[in-house]
Amino acid sequence: MCTYITETIGIAGSGKGADGWFRLTDATVYFDHPVHAMADHTLNINFANPAKGAGSRVAVELTAESARALVAAIQSTLDAAPADLTT
């Protein structure tokens, strides 16, 4: 079953693709059928800079368990960093 659950946000960062590092401007997060991961459904994240074309994209497909663990690790790491560095 396709969920069509999708969130797109603007981001600031960098990603590394086949042609090296590039600026990231967008992230799309959706829960649906993966292209490559061995699971029925995955949380899929595309980090991209659409202005630079299709090659400026980094994609990940995570199981729900892995995605939740990643969210917890990100939150824990940000909470541990000095507040003046995360604003």
Domain boundaries, the chain: 5-85
Partners of residue 52 on adjacent β-strands: none
Rounded CA-CA distance 28/32 in Å is: 12
CA distance 4 to 22: 28
The model's pTM: 0.89
Q: What does the pLDDT read at residue 45? A: 98
- The pLDDT value recorded for residue 2 is 79
Torsions phi, psi of 64, nearest 5?
A: -60, -40
56-73: pLDDT as tens digits: 999 999 999 999 999 999
pLDDT at 12: 97
pLDDT average per 10 residues of sequence, the chain (87 residues): 89 94 97 93 96 94 97 97 93
